[in-house]
Amino acid sequence: MYRAKTTIEQWRILQAVVDYGGYAHAAAKLNKSQSSLNHAVTKLQDQLGVELLEVIGRKAHLTEAGEVMLRRARLLTQNIQELEELATNINQNWEPEITLAVELAFPREYLYPALVDFHKYSRGSRLKIINTVLTGTEEAITEKWADLVISGTIPRGYLGEPLCQHYFYAVCHPEHELAKLPHQIDPRELAQHLQLVIKDSGKLPIEKQGWLKSEQRWTVSDFGAAIDIMAQGIGFCWLPEYTIREALSQGKLVKLAIKGSSFRVIPFYLVVPSADKIGPGTEMLYQQILALRQCPSQLPEPQA
């Protein structure tokens, strides 16, 4: 039987040195001495016979071989973590805490009945419901920090069950210049006006979704802030129908007639980022949310 020369701890230290930009910061994060980290990485390199890091100036940088080795090591440490978490779940038989990440645009009316049912049988499990936006939602899946994720997209390599689809409209104040145009709005005209966008909650947000061609943009943290700003006659914004229903009925906002796109349809999915890690409580919540999903034929038609 093969006997490993290296340890998981050595690879974890190497990851920390790279991720935190050097030995000093890594030592502070891991609550270890800088010399112990230096010794661990030096020993790792000696055991492998391969140089993994080189110090340039005051920073440690991966060598070409180090990049390849660390990429494989990340998978190893992630698998170890998931294996240990699985053992904890088996031992406890019921999760003490469940994290549900929900895309901010998802209509909560489809979620709350499932939470009511879950509360009845949750055995005291703490439930963390975290709002995420765009890249932040994808990170909840790919980084697996959530047990369940309700997302508008499914990252490559993952599967999800469809829950519903929802309509987004471009809206503005009735007195805004765009609302007074006598014709359908050309996207080139739209690009000349201030657009309000909702802040992506990702650590490294990537602007790859939605219409984002306006020369001037203001970023806000939630839908309510966007609606309040538009109520002052400022800007336009793409928002989910359920967030603007009341403002539209009261005449505080109007839908924009845009050439080529009167509305957008966003599908939502229920994703389990790590199927091996799922415990009985998470499985129960998963089934309760899934039981409430809306078929396309049950969805309201977009209104003019």
User: Domain containing 107 — which CATH number?
Assistant: 3.40.190.10
82 and 104 in a common domain:
no
| 138 burial via Cβ count (<10 Å: 0-12, 13-18, 19+) | buried
Give the pLDDT confidence score for residue 176 in this predicted structure.
95
Find the CATH number of the domain harbouring 60: 1.10.10.10
Model confidence at 268, pLDDT cuts 50, 70, 90, reads very high
pLDDT digits (tens, 9 = 90+) for 193-213: 999 999 988 877 766 555 566
Give the pLDDT confidence score for residue 215 in this predicted structure.
72
Give the pLDDT confidence score for residue 304 in this predicted structure.
45
Angle at 250 between CA 244 and CA 253, to 5 degrees: 50
Mean local confidence (pLDDT), 265-274: 94
Element holding 247 (H helix, E strand): helix 241-249
Number of domains within the chain: 3
Mean local confidence (pLDDT), 65-73: 88
Taking 50 as the threshold, does the pLDDT of residue 298 lie above it? no
Model confidence at 19, pLDDT cuts 50, 70, 90, reads confident
Taking 90 as the threshold, does the pLDDT of residue 254 lie above it? yes
**181-190 burial by CB neighbour count: b if 16+ within 10 A, else e?**
eeeebeeeeb
**1-23 burial by CB neighbour count: b if 16+ within 10 A, else e?**
eeeeebeeebbbbbebbbeeebb
Find the CATH number of the domain harbouring 227: 3.40.190.290
276 and 261 in a common domain:
no
253 and 175 in a common domain:
yes
Give the pTM: 0.68
| Amino acid at the residue 12 | R
- Percent pLDDT > 70 in the chain is 90
Give the residue numbers spanning the domain of 109.
95-158+267-298
Model confidence at 260, pLDDT cuts 50, 70, 90, reads confident
Upper half-sphere CA count for residue 106 (Cβ side, 13 Å): 31
183 and 111 in a common domain:
no
